[in-house]
Amino acid sequence: MTAPDDGLPEYLHRLVARAADLPLRHRMPRPTATARRSAVLVLFGEGPRGADVLLIEKAAHLRTHAGQPAFPGGGADPGDDYPVGTALREAEEEAGIDPDGVRVLTTLPELFLGPSDNLVVPVVGWWDDPRDVTVGDPREVARVARVPLADLADPANRFRARHPSGYVGPAFGVAGMVVWGFTAGLLDAVLEAAGLARPWDVRDVRPLPALGVRLPQLPGTRDTAEDEEAAAPTVADPPPDGPPSRTVPGR
């Protein structure tokens, strides 16, 4: 695992320094004895619009997490170098990320997700030379997006989401997606630990849209037509036929 050095941005130095004490706003329950080991890749890089982080959107027809934005990741397979190997393998399968191009910086504290009985380890990585991102298996992934950190930190893109079950938690309206739940909670903590968080209106509570429905023009987000050129190199949707969409041009 690579330690941060002077080639990394300052916000990542701050995040790595606070990795052991991530400022999560909600206490996680104790894991069960049956919890499945999982890992996600929190991959940062420098994109066309500055510092960004990689997110995927799950396919709308999946039985679980349908249509939800997430970090690339999944359950550990036999032979994985868990958790780093698991996170890198899943990122390659879901978003076409070359594991050799990722500099692993640290792991964050494991988090237990009770509803899915998963014990998740977030793996923080840096993309030294960002290449193309692709939709891996369109049966599982609907989109791949490199989301600028400035958009995530923008108070106009932040609110709290209310699930029909009664859950209320941080959410983001970015890249035509509503990011909520585990992913939004982790992003919220990462922004704070990295020193990028800005004050936002926590009184703004909105009901979650139907799963799988995109809201490209949420209040505070950019107009899709207005930003077509800016979005083109950073967001990929799988075409109905042919190879996966390509986004960031190779260097």
pLDDT in tens, 160-178: 999 888 889 999 999 999 9
SS3 string of the chain? CCCCCCCCCHHHHHHHHCHHHCCCCCCCCCCCCCCEEEEEEEEEEEECCEEEEEEEEECCCCCCCCCCEECCEEECCCCCCCCHHHHHHHHHHHHCCCHHHEEEEEECCCEEECCCCEEEEEEEEEECCCCCCCCCCCCCEEEEEEEEHHHHHCHHHEEEEECCCCCEEEEEEECCEEECHHHHHHHHHHHHHCCCCCCCCCCCEEECCCCCCCCCCCCCCCCCCCCHHHHCCCEECCCCCCCCCCCCCCC
Is pLDDT of 179 > 70? yes
Whether the full predicted model's pTM is greater than 0.85, yes or no, is: no
pLDDT in tens, 89-139: 999 999 989 999 999 999 999 998 887 888 999 999 999 888 777 786 777
Domain ranges for the chain, please list them. 10-28+35-236
Yes or no: is domain 10-28+35-236 CATH 3.90.79.10? yes
